[in-house]
Amino acid sequence: MFKNVAELVKKANEENKKISEVMIEQEMFVTEKSREEIVEKMRQNLLVMEAAVERGITENVRSVSGMTGGDAVLLQDYIKKGQYLSSDVLLDAVSKAVATNEVNAAMGMICATPTAGSAGVVPGVLFGMKNKLQPTEEEMLNYLFVAGAFGFVVANNASISGAAGGCQAEVGSATGMAAAALVELAGGTPQQSAEAMAIALKNMLGLVCDPVAGLVEVPCVKRNAMGASNAIVAADMALAGITSRIPTDEVIDAMYRIGQTMPEALRETGEGGLAATKTGRKLEAQIFAREGK
Amino acid sequence: MKYRTVFDIIGPIMVGPSSSHTAGAARIGRVARTLFGTKPKKAFFHLYGSFEKTYRGHGTDVALVAGVLDYDTDDPRLPQSITIAEKDGMEVQFIEEKAKMEHPNTVKIILENDEQQMELVGISIGGGKIEIIELNGFQLKLSGNHPAILVVHNDRFGVIAAVSNILAKHEMNIGHMEVSRKEKGEEALMVIEVDQNVDSHVLKELDQLPHIEHVTKIHE
């Protein structure tokens, strides 16, 4: 089993395989299941992701608290007008990341990647890129296996829990995973995947987990949006040949240590950061008054 | 390694909004239900740390109850579980604990019916993954990384050998095993993590051994 990114890339290079293939083969070894079973299970995940994206960009989804919903539709309408400043692909990915998290906040069905609070980034980037890159279903599944491979390293060497390591561990990890996976989808090398992850994750370091009223809504939905855009830009930078001065594994280690020293108020307790702002507290009071807590 | 498969990272498919506070909670509840063996009459949930602070907004409460009703993380009935449980005559109670635990997402579940009472402590470590750290006062380290067999037995010589013989006969490899007891000669617990999936006929065979009180399995 690969323990870190360096081993993962080395294995891919030595055996002349893609990262996705290394991940699938390891999965077959660890679970003693056939390739078909494993690929089919991933296909079920892909279908759930697609359904959540579709629901979020077409329906006017609203969360129980009323704090989130409807922003994915706003972005889709904005793209159609054609007056955007960045790019249609970038905004499409952003809107699909938002869509997923709006469905999640509404207690809809999603696929955690790596967590529910960060479930928008990986599918957002994939479905945002679908028109441009025209991937086959197999390539889309491979994208998820690459994302899984990098997430696997983060989860085992650092954390993917906001309560343990802050939002950098959730949306941060998801952003790194999506960046690495997009590089392979676009035809980049395993090493470029690793560079993209490092570049993306470095820019998420220190991100705190400070949800208003303790709900996975504010600021989680918009952090997924920015995670998706960060992932795409990081992938482009890596494909351009830019490398990270700090190796990916050391970036992951830095993330872990930052998480350990982060105050508890900023680790999913709803007690610090945006949750503790005047408006955050007001929203919290309104929601709990309604719930009768 | 805490995380073993790619589906710990890409997955689970679940009802939102939080993998640790909703999906993880449902999974802890479901392990409790599996170990209890039947639907309880009463279920008490003691919540600690981030679970205590944010359980309502995250649906941790409905998720825990859904687990105890034997629902999976992607069961569409999950948001209505408390109503369903109460309609079914199950008493449900949440207790907000202020004590600081080692892990931020900790829950102690107590399940009861006329015949038995069970107490379990579980933690949700992220991405929907869980660990069970205590069962009826026995400390244990059940990672949930592998299929596992739990055997409650009387502390007598030969019981462990008899259990491992049956596993050997079925060509099942033990990856990790711990045995703990409260008092010499009293009730004891074996936790056996195996590499293969556990078929029900293996459990039945184990259950028929002398000095065995209860056998149950937990999936990966």
Q: To probe the interface with A, which of B1, B4, B6 has the most A CB atoms within 10 Å? A: B6
The rounded Cα B12 to chain-centroid distance in angstroms is 17
Among partner residues A1, A147, A214, which is closest to B58 by beta-carbon distance? A214
Is pLDDT of A30 > 60? yes
- Cβ pair A45:B7 closer than 8 A: yes
Are B93 and B44 in a shared domain?
Answer: yes
Q: What are phi and psi of A217, to 5 degrees?
A: -140, -65
Contacts of B160 (CB under 8 A, 6+ apart): B179, B190
CB neighbour class for B23 (10 Å; exposed up to 12, middle 13-18, buried from 19): buried
- Alpha carbons A278 and A275: distance in angstroms, whole number: 8
- Cβ pair B56:A106 closer than 8 A: no
pLDDT tens-digit series, residues A99-142: 999 999 999 999 999 999 999 999 999 999 999 999 999 999 99
Residue B74 covered by a domain: yes
Res. B127 pLDDT band, cuts 50 70 90: confident
Residue A155 covered by a domain: yes
Is pLDDT of A54 > 70? yes
Residue A82 covered by a domain: no
B14 touches chain A (CB under 8 A): yes
Angstroms from A24 CA to nearest CA on chain B: 8
> Tell me, what CATH number does B15's domain have?
3.30.1330.90
Residue B66, Cβ neighbours under 10 Å: how many?
Answer: 29
Is pLDDT of B8 > 60? yes
pLDDT at B183: 83
pLDDT at A199: 98
On the question of a cis peptide bond just before residue A114, with omega within 30 degrees of 0, the verdict is yes
**Dmax (CA) of chain A:** 60
pLDDT tens-digit series, residues A10-27: 999 999 999 999 999 999
Tracing tokens 């604990």 back to the chain, one arrives at B97
- Alpha carbons B50 and A209: distance in angstroms, whole number: 12
Strands B174-181 and B138-142: unpaired
Count the domains in chain A. Answer: 1
Domain that residue B138 falls in: 6-142
Please, which residues 102-161 of chain B have a Cβ atom closer than 8 Å to chain A?
Answer: 103-105, 125-128
Sign of the C-alpha dihedral computed for residues A93, A53, A266 and A3 taken in this order: negative
- Average pLDDT, stretch B22-50? 93
Is pLDDT of B220 > 70? no
- Average pLDDT, stretch A78-87? 97
- Alpha carbons A136 and B125: distance in angstroms, whole number: 35
The predicted complex's ipTM stands at 0.96
Residue B83 covered by a domain: yes
- Average pLDDT, stretch B18-25? 93
pLDDT tens-digit series, residues B164-214: 999 999 999 998 899 988 888 888 999 999 988 888 899 999 999 999 988
pLDDT at B185: 83
- Alpha carbons B11 and B49: distance in angstroms, whole number: 25
Count the domains in chain B. Answer: 2
Rounded to 10 degrees, the C-alpha dihedral B53/B58/B59/B65 comes to: -60
At B191, is the secondary structure helix, strand, or coil? strand
The angle that helices A19-31 and A137-157 make with each other, rounded to 10 degrees, is: 70
- For residue A41, the chain B residue with the least C-alpha distance is B7
pTM comes to 0.90
Domain that residue A159 falls in: 5-48+122-291
Among partner residues B17, B195, B220, which is closest to A215 by beta-carbon distance? B17
- For residue A112, the chain B residue with the least C-alpha distance is B11
Strands B91-96 and B42-48: parallel
pLDDT at B53: 83
Are B138 and B153 in a shared domain?
Answer: no
Angstroms from B186 CA to nearest CA on chain A: 36
Residue B34 covered by a domain: yes
- Alpha carbons B29 and B26: distance in angstroms, whole number: 5
Answer with the one of B142, B163, B187 that is the final residue of a domain. B142
- For residue B102, the chain A residue with the least C-alpha distance is A164
Angstroms from A217 CA to nearest CA on chain B: 8
Cβ-contact B49, B101 below 8 angstroms: yes
> Tell me, what CATH number does B200's domain have?
3.30.70.260
Tracing tokens 């992220």 back to the chain, one arrives at B126
- Cβ pair A216:B18 closer than 8 A: yes
Cβ-contact A20, A142 below 8 angstroms: yes
- Cβ pair B126:A163 closer than 8 A: yes
B40 touches chain A (CB under 8 A): no
A115 touches chain B (CB under 8 A): yes
Q: Which residue type is seen at A58? A: T
B128 vs A196 pLDDT, higher one: A196
- Average pLDDT, stretch B87-101? 95
CA–CA–CA angle B190, B192, B194 (5° rounding): 170
pLDDT tens-digit series, residues A172-186: 999 999 999 999 999
**Dmax (CA) of chain B:** 50
Residue B132 covered by a domain: yes
Q: Which residue type is seen at B142? A: L
Residue B66 covered by a domain: yes
Among partner residues A41, A107, A145, which is closest to B17 by beta-carbon distance? A107
Res. A222 pLDDT band, cuts 50 70 90: very high
pLDDT tens-digit series, residues A230-242: 999 999 999 999 9
